[in-house]
Amino acid sequence: MSTVLIVAEHDGHRLSPATARTVTCASRIPGAAVTIVVLAAEPDAIAKEAAALTGVQRVLTVTQAPNVHTLAAVLAPQIAELGAGFTHLMAASTTFGKDVMPRVAALLDAPQISDLMAVEGERRFRRPIYAGNAIVTIEVPAGVKVVATVRAASFAVAAPGGAAAIEPVTVKAAVPSHTRFIGVESGASDRPDLQSAARVVSGGRALGSAENFKHIYSLADRLGAAVGASRAAVDAGYVPNELQVGQTGKIIAPELYVAVGISGAIQHLTGIKDARTIVAINKDAEAPIFEVADIGLVGDLFTVLPEIERALAGK
């Protein structure tokens, strides 16, 4: 039987939706018993959220002051200690999961499968390589622990309605002091979170300035959407790095993705492959973005965006 340990991702208060998606992935493993571990300084509220996810059998909490920050060097030895008794270990393929899981895998002497996108069996999985230009099916031999990061955008959020038991546990692993948290700076906003939003409006290099991005924010607000961007827009300093969508940014799967002034480079498209409906607005009819768009409009964004807003307002 497969026993899966999922490492909860959280911000100290709330469980990340990416973890709820990871639960759905784990539940696809035939006959899997799914456990979530919450490592935190105050894990109780997060553990409650985890316990309420359908498909979760057990929630473990590890309460320690150093767990207040998500430092891989601090968390990995604790996760590896708990993970020794499981056949599978998983976390979402976010910057948190990408940082910590390979460290865990190495401590357990196991290889890792990154960005797992489909479960084909207890030990058989699919994942993208070459920025999503090829998909490989991978088999993990018997006797080798399965350690994976899960491409959250490929799985739905596990429904609430579960009632798993919550069990506090202690670990013996020594916590290193060689890595220290200083702070995190985020352009925190009241807008929906890019990673989990149902609608996303993204702007590219064509916006030309940070100031002009107001057109993107305005449409996003009208649609109740999160804001994203291409790498070119981030590199040019129009918007902060956490808005980058793509191979090396965020991989997202919204119901609606609106790409404005984005050419559609393969590295960008990797991030939006799983979007339900893609809308592209670009003044170049030959732009590659139109090859993947469900609805395309050729035009200058500076005239088209205000018109869309007026059409939405019914004027």
Partner 1 sequence: MRRVMVGVKRVVDYNVRIRVKPDGTGVVLDGVKMSINPFDEIGLEEALRIKERGHADEVVAVAIGSDDVQQQLRTALAMGADRAVQVRTAAAVEPLQAARIFLQLIAKEQPSIVILGKQAIDDDNSQTGQMLAALWERPQATFASKIEINGAVAVVTREVDAGLEKIEVDLPAVFTTDLRLNEPRYVKLPEIMKAKKKPLDVIEAGALGVDVTETLKVVKYEPPAQRTRGVMVKDAAELVAQLRARGVLQ
Q: Which residues 208-267 are close enough to bind partner 1 by CB under 8 A?
A: 223, 231, 234-235, 240-242, 247-248, 250, 255-256, 266-267
Measured CA to CA, the distance from residue 202 to residue 191 in angstroms comes to 13
Q: Which stretch binds partner 1 (CB under 8 A): 29-37, 52-60, 69-77, 163-171?
A: 69-77
Q: Residue 196 touches which of ligand FAD, partner 1, none (CB < 5 to 8 A by kind)?
A: none
Taking the complex as a whole, how short is the minimal distance between the CB of residue 178 and partner 1, in angstroms? 4
Asked if 267 interacts with ligand FAD (CB under 6 A), we say: yes
Q: Contacting ligand FAD (CB under 6 A), which of 133, 248, 277, 312? A: 248
- Quickly tell me which residue has 């490592």 as its tokens: 39
Report which of 260, 291, 257, 287 is spatially closest to residue 272, judged by C-alpha positions: 257
Taking the complex as a whole, how short is the minimal distance between the CB of residue 209 and ligand FAD, in angstroms? 12
Asked if 292 interacts with ligand FAD (CB under 6 A), we say: no
Q: How many residues bind partner 1 (CB under 8 A)?
A: 89
* Nearer residue to ligand FAD within complex by CB, 168 or 187: 187
Taking the complex as a whole, how short is the minimal distance between the CB of residue 171 and partner 1, in angstroms? 16
Report which of 309, 305, 274 is spatially closest to residue 292, judged by C-alpha positions: 274
Q: Residue 297 touches which of ligand FAD, partner 1, none (CB < 5 to 8 A by kind)?
A: partner 1
Query: Three-class SS of residue 100?
Result: helix
Taking the complex as a whole, how short is the minimal distance between the CB of residue 139 and partner 1, in angstroms? 4
Handedness of CA 260, 262, 267, 273 (dihedral sign): positive
Window 177 to 196, contacts with partner 1 (CB under 8 A): 178-188, 195
Window 207 to 246, contacts with ligand FAD (CB under 6 A): 230-233, 244-246
Q: DSSP secondary structure string, 201-257?
A: EEE-GGG-STGGGHHHHHHHHHHT-EEEE-HHHHHTTSS-GGGBBSTTSB----SEE
Residues sharing a CB contact under 8 Å with residue 257, sequence separation 6 or more, in sequence order: 199, 200, 202, 272, 275, 277, 278, 279
Measured CA to CA, the distance from residue 177 to residue 76 in angstroms comes to 13
Window 83 to 112, contacts with partner 1 (CB under 8 A): 94-96, 98-107, 109-112
Taking the complex as a whole, how short is the minimal distance between the CB of residue 164 and partner 1, in angstroms? 26
> What is the identity of the amino acid at 233?
A
Spacing of C-alpha 167 from chain mean position:
27
The residues of the shown chain that bind ligand FAD, judged by CB under 6 A, are 204-206, 230-233, 244-249, 261-263, 265, 267-268, 282-284, 287, 300-302
